[in-house]
Amino acid sequence: MTTQPKALTLRADFPGLLNPQGQPWHYLDSAATAQKPQVVIDAISRALGADYATVHRGVYSRSAEMTLAYEAARRRVAQFLGGRENEIVFTRGATEAINLVAQSLGAFGGLANLKAGDRILLSTLEHHSNIVSWQLLRERTGIEIDVCPLTDDGRIDLDAAEEMLTPAHKLVALAHVSNVLGSMLDARRAADLAHSVGALLLIDGCQAVPRIAIDVAAIDCDFYVFSAHKLYGPTGIGAMWARAELLDAMPPWQGGGSMIDRVTFEKTTYAPAPQRFEAGTPAIAEAIALHAAIDYVEAIGLSAIHEHEAALVRQLRGELGRINSVRLFGPEDSAGIVSFALDGIHPHDLGTILDEENVAIRAGHHCAQPLMDHLGVPATARASFGLYSDESDIAALLAGIERTQRIFG
């Protein structure tokens, strides 16, 4: 097995990879949230310190400079996704972005104006944020939700989707990479299928953006959302890319400062997109830190990150596959994620014992309870890699599993 030598040297960039005693911490929960490189920590520290001021409102020089930095972050996100600056809306994360789309498309006067009788297609493996948001809209408008099944190896079954889609479908919302199985969507085919019946396509890119180069034009989707904290950036901020014509036609979903043109008690007119979707004082320092995170990741190279993680996935799946009591989930080529279960041992018990061994994994339903039902398990153990992961993390995990089996044996 060949591991990218460059990635092995990057652990020093991440102060969070040491425990309080200064020993290496084997962090295998990057799918939940990635550790932060020092350059991102420094960027947010500067933004909250010597550089801090509000944006868009002040006439003094520091406010103007901070506004330039904030809008530069928007341009950087647009470049990262292959879109244009006026197509990027900052949100608190992917969850808020999906809710934004659901609420705005469900509003009277919206472009799609989702209403009773309209249908939305999701898949079995979706994160709760890409399920509950639409269920709330269903309760309010009477839309119907259809669920696309999975293939035997845990991919969204686009052949089945093709059979299910009808002109009544107005939106398709799918994960680019499963947060449990690591399976990757053929996003361009999904777009073609959605558009063939006149539906819009929203893609949840949370697990894709840390390891795959995204080009929304090549995908031909209509919305693309992600959270910064999975991309080695801060929590509390994410972004939504949407086609300009969609944003221009969508009504705002929250009211307040920054999203207005003029306010009177008789009538309010709204700012153009994307500003009209960003009510209130924004996450200024977080946006600037997201800019730094994107610069950091792209300096390493997404293809190098993906290859490095893929090698680790192959190694771990191979090692786990030799343990008779282990059940593996998802495809062999899962993207940075390995979910598994140990016979007779609850994932929470495994996670607790691994913590004693200085190993951090995620144990539970991973905000994907319908997928757990499909897999026939209450929970799984999930080891997920980042660009800083290496073979020592796998060795520590396997040693912890062996200890757990001895305890429960």
pLDDT tens sequence across 163-198? 999 999 999 999 999 999 999 999 999 999 999 999
Report the predicted TM-score, pTM, of the whole model to 2 decimal places. 0.95
**Helix (H/G/I), strand (E/B), else coil: 199:** coil
Q: How far is CA 144 from CA 175, 197, 202, 340, in A?
A: 19, 16, 17, 33
Please indicate whether residue 209 or residue 258 has the higher confidence score (pLDDT). 209
Given a cut of 50, whether residue 6 has pLDDT beyond it is no
CA separation for the pair 207, 386 (Å, rounded): 11
Residues 6+ apart with CB under 8 A from 359: 26, 28, 393, 396, 397, 400
pLDDT at 114: 86
Beta strands in 264-379 (DSSP E): 268-270, 326-329, 337-342, 359-360, 362-364
Average pLDDT, the chain: 94
DSSP string, 360-378: E-EEE-TT-HHHHHHHT-S
Given a cut of 80, whether residue 109 has pLDDT beyond it is no
With bands split at pLDDT 50, 70 and 90, how would you rate the model's confidence at 3? very low
Taking residues 132-142, report their average pLDDT: 94
Tens of pLDDT along 271-296? 999 999 999 999 999 999 999 999 99
pLDDT at 409: 77
Do 5-30+301-408 and 42-298 fold alike per CATH?
no
Taking residues 369-392, report their average pLDDT: 96
Task: Please state, for a pLDDT cut of 90, what percent of the chain lies above it.
Answer: 89
Q: How far is CA 238 from CA 6, 96, 128, 226, 227, in A?
A: 28, 8, 17, 6, 4
Q: Are 171 and 204 in contact (CB under 8 A)?
A: no
pLDDT at 123: 98
CATH number of 42-298: 3.40.640.10
pLDDT at 108: 54
Taking residues 349-373, report their average pLDDT: 96
Going by C-alpha positions, the residue among 221, 239, 329 that lies closest to residue 283 is 239
List 148, 206, 221, 367, catalytic entry: 367
Write down the residue that tokens 């809710």 correspond to: 99
Domain boundaries, the chain: 5-30+301-408, 42-298
pLDDT at 19: 85
Taking residues 126-146, report their average pLDDT: 96
Q: Is 367 a catalytic residue?
A: yes
The dihedrals phi and psi of 119, each to the nearest 5 degrees, come to -125, 150
**Measured CA angle at 220 (ends 75, 336), to 5 deg:** 75
Superfamily of domain 5-30+301-408: Aspartate Aminotransferase, domain 1 (3.90.1150.10)
Given a cut of 50, whether residue 262 has pLDDT beyond it is yes
Q: Are 319 and 394 in contact (CB under 8 A)?
A: yes
pLDDT at 28: 98
pLDDT at 4: 43
pLDDT at 367: 96
Q: Are 187 and 203 in contact (CB under 8 A)?
A: yes
Tens of pLDDT along 31-75? 999 999 999 999 999 999 999 999 987 789 999 999 999 999 999
